[in-house]
Structure 1
Amino acid sequence: MGENKRLSFPFDVEETEPEEKSEIKRLFNYPKIDLTRVGPKGYVMPRPYIEQAENIYNLSIRPSDVFVASFQRAGTTWTQELVWLVANDFDYETALSVPINHRYPFLEIYMLFTEWRNDCLKNVDIMKSKEQKEKLFKMLEVNSQPVTEKLEAMPSPRFIKTHLPMSFLPPTIVDTAKVIYVARDPRDIAVSCYHHARLLKILDFVGEFKDFWKLFVNDCFIRTPYFEHVKEAWNMRHHPNMLFLFYEELTKDLPAVVRRVANFLGKEVTPKQMARLCDHLSFENFKKNKSVNYEDLREVDAVTPNETFIRKGKVNGWRDYFDKDMAQQAKRWIEDNLRGTDLRFPHVIG
C-alpha cells in the first residue's frame, strides 16, 4: 500500500468488563496483563497490540509473501516447518541451524513481550552471568519490537507467522500473497493453550484447567472468540491464495497434506523428499528439534521448567482433561457455533 492509501484501523477498542479483569488478575500471576476487546466480534487482545494495529493493517504485502496463520496452538509450528521446507527446496541445513522464529517473523509477538521486556530490563542485574544477559537482550530485541519495520527491510520471499484473525490483517492479503491457515478441534486447542499459558512467564497462568476452560469457552482468553477466528479464514478457503488445513489432517495423512502444500506453492516433491520430510516432521523428531522449540526463551528463564513448547501433539487429548459436565458443555458450545455453517472438524470424536 502506498502512503496515499494508508487505511485507518477499522475497529473500535473496548475495555474488558471489571469482573473479567478481576478473574484474569486472579488466575495469571504476571500482574501486567491488560486485555481489551477489539471490533464487533470482541476479539480479546493485550493492550500493546493497539499501538501497532494500524501499522499491521497497512503492512505492504508482496506477491512472494507466505503467511502461516492460525489461532494459537493449532499446529502452527509444525505447519510452518512443513511450508518452509517445501518452499525452500528442502534446505534442512538452514532449517536445523536457524531457529524458526528467525525464519518466520511473528507479526504480533511484541504485544506479549512489551511489558515483560520493561520488567526484565529493570531487573537485569540480578541475572547470574554476562552470557545470560546477552542472550536476554538478543531475545528481547527479537520479540519485543514491532515486526512491521523489520518486515519492510527483509528481502523476499518473506515467511510470516500470525495468530491474528484475518480481519485484522491487510485487506489485500489474499489477493496478493499466499496464506496457509490451520485449524484444530477447540477442545484440544484449549488444553494446549492452558499448558502454553503455564509455560510462558509473560502469562504465568496459575489456575487449574477447569479455570482456564471457563475463560476460553466464555471468550476471555487472548484472541478468542475461537470460532469467529476460524470462520473468518474458512469463509476465504475457496480463494486461490488461501489454503485451509486441519491439524487432524496432518496427524492422519501427513503426505497428503504435504502434496496439497506443494501444489499450493507450485512445488514438486519426489518420493525420496517426501520420506525425509515426513521423518523430519514426525512428532518424535520434531519434539527433539531445538530449532523449533524456542530454546532461546528457556536459556533466559522466560519459560517454566516443567512445561515444553512442543508438547504431545495428540488428537482428542482433551478427553484426559474434561469431566462429564465439561464435555457436555463443550459439545453444546461446538454445535451452537457450527450451526448454520458447513465447517466441521475432520477425524474428531465428539
Structure 2
Amino acid sequence: MAAPEAGTPDASAKKRPVYQDDEFWEDHKGCLVPLPWTLSLPQVDEFEAHDGDICVVSFPKSGTGWLSAVVLMIANDADAACLHAGKPVQVMVPMLEQVLPTEIQHPELRNIHKLKNMQGPRLYATHLSKDSLPKPVVEKAKVIYIYRNPKDVMVSMYHWLRGLRAVGFDRDIRYLVDEMVKPQGKIMYAPYFDNIAGYWKIRNQPNIFVCSYEQMRKNFHASVKELATFLGKELSDEQIQRICHECSFAEMQANPVTNRQERDHVVGVYDSQISPYIRKGAVGKWHDTMDEESSKKIDEWIQQNLSRPDLIDFGFEFE
C-alpha cells in the first residue's frame, strides 16, 4: 500500500502553547485533540474512505504502533521486507490527523493532504473517537480498534509525554491520573471511556474488529490469525509465525523502522534518550510506577464507567 513521505525540519517554528495551557486543546466533537494536530481537523472532517481502506484506531498508548506493524505485515502477505525497507512504520501507516512541528507552516506535507491524494486502498491510523472520525471511514473502511487497561495506558503515556519535545509536559503520573478521571481532564483524546464505547457499540458491524492489548499479548499467534481472516488474508502458519516474530517487542525495539528513533530525532518530535518510544510493552507494569492512591482512584473510576449502557459486556484484564 502507498504511503506519504515524512516532512523536513522547519527552523521558523514559533513558541506555541504547551500541555498545561487551555489553548493547547480543542474539543473536536467530544474528543480532546492537542496542538498542533488540531490544525488538520477541518481537512480530516472532509476525508473520504476508499474501498479497501484499513484504519487502525486506538486511544493513545494502547498499542497503535504495535498493531500498525502487525496489520502492515498482514497486508503485505507476511513479507518481512515491509518492516526493513527504510521507511518507518509511522510513515507507511500514517496517523490521519497528525501534524508534526515541521508541518505547521506547510499543510502540503501533512498526512491528511497526502492521504487525500493517494489512489486505491490506503492504510492509516487515528486516535479519534468514533463520533469525531469521518463517517465514511466508520462505514466503509475496515476499522481495527485496540484498547488497553487504563493503568498501563497511564504509565505508558507518562513516559511518552516526558519524551515529547514540543509538548512541555513537566508533571508527575499522579497529575495524569487526576486529569484522566476528571470529566473534562487534560488528556489527549479524552474522554477515555467515550473513545472505547463508541467502537464497542459497533463491534458487531462486519467492517469493525475490536481487540484488547492484553489478549494480543497473551495469544499473539491466534490474534494475528483472527486479524488476517478479518482482512481477507489466508496466511499459512509459517506466515503467521513470521509476523509474530517480526512484531515481537524485542524485534521492534531493535528495528529502526519500528522504534522511531531515527525519524523522530530528524523531525525533532521525540527524545528517546528520556524514554524510548518502544519500552517494555508488558502487561501490569503499572505496579512499578503508580502509587496505591492513584490506583484506587482509577479502580473507582473504572467501576463507575463499566455500568454505562454503552459498555455492556465490556471489561479489562489486569495483572
TM-score by structure 2 length? 0.85
3-state SS, counterpart of residue 61 of structure 2: coil
SS at 2:27's partner residue?
strand
Q: Write out aligned runs for 1:100-119 (5 A).
A: 100-110=89-99, 113-114=100-101
Matched, 1:34 2:30: no
Q: C-alpha displacement at 1:102, in angstroms? A: 1.8
Distance 1:250 1:285, change over 3 A: same
Equivalent position of 2:141 in the other structure: 177
Specify whether residues 90 and 169 from structure 1 end up closer, same or farther in structure 2 by C-alpha distance, changes over 3 A only: same
CA distance in 1 between counterparts of 2:98 and 2:41 reads: 12
Q: Is the Cα–Cα contact under 8 Å of residues 145 and 211 in structure 2 kept in the other structure?
A: yes
How do 1:177-216 residues align onto structure 2 when only pairs under 5 Å count? 177-216=141-180
Q: Is the 8 A contact 2:19 2:167 kept in 1?
A: no
Work out whether 1:344 is the aligned partner of 2:314: yes
SS at match of 2:135: coil
- Kept in 2, the 8 Å contact 1:76–1:182? The answer is yes
Distance change in 2, residues 1:201/1:117 (3 Å):
farther
Q: CA deviation at 1:311?
A: 0.9
Specify which structure has the higher proportion of helix: 1
For residues 109 and 144 of structure 1, what CA distance do their matches in structure 2 show?
A: 13
Higher-Rg structure is 1
Partners of 1:22 and 1:275 in 2: how far apart?
43
Q: For the residues of structure 2 that align with 1:274 and 1:192, how far apart are their CA atoms?
A: 27
Show the counterpart of 1:99.
Answer: 88
- The residue type equivalent to 1:100 in the other structure is V
- Consecutive unaligned residues of structure 2, counting only runs of 5 or more, are 1-16
Alignment partner, residue 4 of structure 1: none
2:119 to 155, 158, 178: 155
Say whether the 8 Å CA contact 1:53–1:168 is kept in structure 2: no
Residue number among 68, 71, 74 corresponding to 1:80 in the alignment: 68
Find runs of 4+ consecutive structure 1 residues off by over 6 angstroms: none
Deviation at 1:189, TM superposition (A): 0.7
Aligned match for 1:330, one of 287, 298, 305 = 298
| 8 Å CA contact retained: 2:72, 2:82 | no
State the TM-score, normalized to the length of structure 1: 0.78
Determine the C-alpha separation between the residues in 1 that align with 2:210 and 2:19: 34
Q: What whole-Å deviation, never above 9, does each CA across 1:37-73 have from its counterpart, x for those lacking one?
A: 233x4x3223555543232122111111000011111
- Percent identity between matched residues is 28
- The AA in structure 2 aligned to 1:296 is R
Amino acid at match of 2:199: A
Which residue number in structure 2 is paired with residue 29 of structure 1? none
* In structure 2, distance between residues paired with 1:342 and 1:56: 30
Equivalent-residue separation in structure 1 for 2:237 and 2:79 (angstroms) = 16
Instruction: For residue 258 of structure 1, report the CA deviation from its aligned partner.
Output: 0.7
Q: In the alignment, is the contact (CA less than 8 A) between 1:33 and 1:203 conserved in 2? A: no
* Equivalent residue for 2:211, pick from 245, 270, 287: 245
CA-to-aligned-CA distance 1:166-214 (integer Å, 9 cap, x gap): 1112212232110101000011111111111111102132222212222
1:52-104 deviation digits (Å, cap 9, x = unpaired): 32321221111110000111110111111111111111221132122112211
How many residues are aligned here?
296
Matched, 1:308 2:276: yes
- CA 1:80 to 1:23, structure 2 compared with 1: closer, same or farther past 3 Å? closer
Secondary structure of the corresponding residue to residue 211 of structure 2: strand
How far residue 342 of structure 1 moved from its aligned partner, in angstroms, is 2.1
In 1, the alpha carbon distance for the partners of 2:133 and 2:18 equals 30
